[in-house]
A and B are shown apart, each in its own frame.
Chain A
Amino acid sequence: MKQYLEDLNKAFENRLRIGIMSALVVNESLDFNALKDLLGATDGNLASHLKALEKVGYVEFQKSFVGRKPNTSYTATSIGKTAFDQHLIALEKLINRNK
């Protein structure tokens, strides 16, 4: 039991971070506003969690301009995708264990 718990990734303890990763693994990339609409998060909250994921190298971003508006689009890195997959497997094992 304990070992399974250790498999859970600390970076994904927050529900919003899980949400960000879920959205980014099934989409090539998403911009800030799309993530915001999807997850129903506030600007500040979303930005801080994106920054946290970026710090551990799970998410990267690219800045560009759409017309005159700056636009930031986020992508999950391959490290991030692997880490998220492992987190999902750990979650599944925990649930099956307790059945």
Chain B
Amino acid sequence: MAKEKEYLEDIAAIRSIMERSSQFISLSGMAGVMAGIYALVGSFAAYKIIYSSDHVLYDDIRQYYLSPGVVQLIGIAAFVLLASIVTAFLLSKRKAKRDGRKFPDAIAIRLALNFLIPLVTGGLFVGIMVLKGNFSVIAPATLIFYGLALVQASKYTFKDVKVLGMAEISIGLLAAWLHGYALWFWAVGFGLLHIVYGIFMYLKYEK
């Protein structure tokens, strides 16, 4: 029947529109891998700075003293964050262009907003805690809030992002439990997990 083919086409069109209109699928696995590499390089550099410093850098921050070491640490953190965001943006743009999609479209903006609300909250929270002299909260809180942001964002993109978010939350809680290994948990959460996740996504969706 000629009609039957038409119905099948209708169904295919419906499914495709539902997916395209509610999910941002231009997220590239490579962005995850790159973010992981930046984080690992950043963690290594931070490790060098902290342990080669002749005094405890936390004391500088506690006295609101921006010593060269402290400035370097802040610089590294800012660089890792910015580089990750810019890379994700550029790679998404490239992928969208290749698939003939507009970028950023309405769904990308919705995704970004939902991602940013928990993330900015976490950033402000950690900033306030640091100013109050509480440093032990940095690693667990950044990991937990980042994980919550991912879980929230996963509603608007690949469902696999939720798994990554849950993993980040777990590592964050573990970091809260086991004190003194902040940088290691950080390197695992932001570095290793991103690389594993990125490769997984690349193989699953882009190969």
Contacts and interface: CB of A to CB of B under 8 A. Distances in A.
B60 interface: no
Contacts of B17: 19, 22-23, 38-39
Given A34-B105, A98-B1, A15 B21 contact: no
A37 B18 contact: no
8 contacts: A19-B13, A19-B14, A23-B17, A23-B21, A26-B22, A34-B105, A38-B20, A95-B11
Interface of A: 15, 18-19, 22-23, 25-27, 30-31, 34, 37-39, 88, 91-92, 94-95, 98
Contacts, number: 50
A15 B4 CA distance: 15
B18 A91 contact: no
Tell me whether chain B's interface is mostly helix, strand or loop, or mixed.
helix
B22 A27 contact: yes
Interface size class of B (residues with CB under 8 A): 10 to 19
B102 interface: yes
B160 interface: no
Contacts of B7: 91, 94-95
A91 B22 contact: no
Given A18-B13, A91-B7, 12 more contacts: A18-B10, A22-B13, A22-B17, A22-B21, A23-B21, A25-B18, A26-B18, A30-B21, A34-B106, A91-B10, A94-B4, A98-B4
